[in-house]
Amino acid sequence: MRTFCVGDIHGCFTEFSELLNAVKFNMQEDFLLSTGDIIGRGPRPVDTLRFFIKNQNRIVTVLGNHELSLLRNYSIWRSMASPSTKEEFLKNLKAKELALILKEPDSENIFNYLRSRPLAYFDQSRNLLLTHAGLSPEWKFDEAVGYSKEVEKILQSNRFDWFMSNMFSDKPDSWMKVLKKEAKARKGEKILKRDPNAEIGKISTTVELKRLIYIVNAFTRMRFCRSDMSLEFLCKDGPEAAKENNLYPWYEMQKNISPKDTIIFGHWAALQGKCPVKNIIALDTGCIWNGALTMIDVDCKHIKHVAEAHH
């Protein structure tokens, strides 16, 4: 049994199939990990999703920002009452994935599949952590899966729509701020408990939301952070261009990884698959930007299989 990991596919199903053929991937024996963003912008999102769903006992993918955007659009669409409003909404969306998936007879299954994917996956036998964007410099290696589970629970619950409609925010940008807000709220709750008319639930939900937003952003949107480790979401350049703005790639600030740990991430096409930290592996080589799709065998990581983009 071999285990491979593929970078951001973005609906480039042709290139993805080429890679599977190149390594003679065996669906009965081998195992595949994916850095997420399996859809978004690319030509064959439904084929890609179908393949992942059909082979889900051999493939693990984490959620990327594009999957979350799709789920958010889906949540808004299904909350709309009138068919004409729904149609108008689909027509005005820049991303065409939602409209394409809704044409499928089992679209509900596809959305349920995505709603049950993790943000972080940990392979204990290899000490390998897989996420879309990386590991927040404010977190320890072994904390990631726990934070991921907090969001997974919400995505699978009846609070899905609530979270989707409140998820998109660049704030809070630091875990320290999240923890401070929680501490303050706990103090507040103690005071509020003496007042029978106080809305404890409301305060808790606001604080909870901030925590969930940070977790989602760190796992799916992070590239740069400031010197205080807070996350910055505007800059999408390569690491060199950002130095003059006092921004640092998250992996330069992440000091909580031991030599036995490995992190694999995608998301940051401008890195062109190059991360200078030895046991942190960048896998997005920008297939969707006319770059290439990259796959590694996780047990001999130095060998990269590459399919040049041809769409």
The reply on whether position 254 binds Mn ion by CB under 5 A is no
Structure tokens at 157: 């619950």
The answer to whether residue 65 forms part of the interface with Mn ion (CB under 5 A) is: yes
- The Cα–Cα gap between 277 and 279 comes to 6
Residue of 7, 45, 64, 134 that binds Mn ion (CB under 5 A): 64
Question: Does the protein bind Mn ion through residue 37 (CB under 5 A)?
Answer: yes
Binding status of residue 61 toward Mn ion by CB under 5 A? no
Among the listed ranges 84-92, 184-192, 264-272, 285-293, the one in contact with Mn ion (CB under 5 A) is: 264-272
Tell me which residue of 160, 78, 75, 72 sits closest to 116, measured CA to CA: 160
CA distances from 239 to 19, 59, 64, 72, 168 (A): 28, 31, 21, 30, 25
Q: How far is the CB of 295 from Mn ion (least distance, A)?
A: 17
Q: Which is nearer to Mn ion, 271 or 296 (CB)?
A: 271
Indicate whether 267 belongs to the interface with Mn ion (CB under 5 A).
yes
Residues of this chain, 169-188, that bind Mn ion according to CB under 5 A: none
When CB distances to Mn ion are compared, the closest residue is 267
> Is the CB of 207 or the CB of 216 nearer to Mn ion?
216
CB 125 within 8 A of CB 33: no
Distance (Å, rounded) from C-alpha 94 to C-alpha 131?
26
Residue with Cβ nearer Mn ion (37 or 97): 37
Minimum CB distance to Mn ion smaller for 169 or for 204 = 169
* 5 dihedral zone (left: phi>0; alpha: psi -120 to 50; beta): beta
What is the SS3 assignment for 250?
helix
- Nearest distance, CB of residue 198 and Mn ion, angstroms: 41
Query: 289-309 as b/e, with b when 16 or more CB fall inside 10 Å?
Result: eebbbbbbbbeeeeeebbbeb
**Under the criterion CB under 5 A, does residue 134 sit at the interface with Mn ion?**
no
Q: Which residues bind Mn ion (CB under 5 A)?
A: 37, 64-65, 267
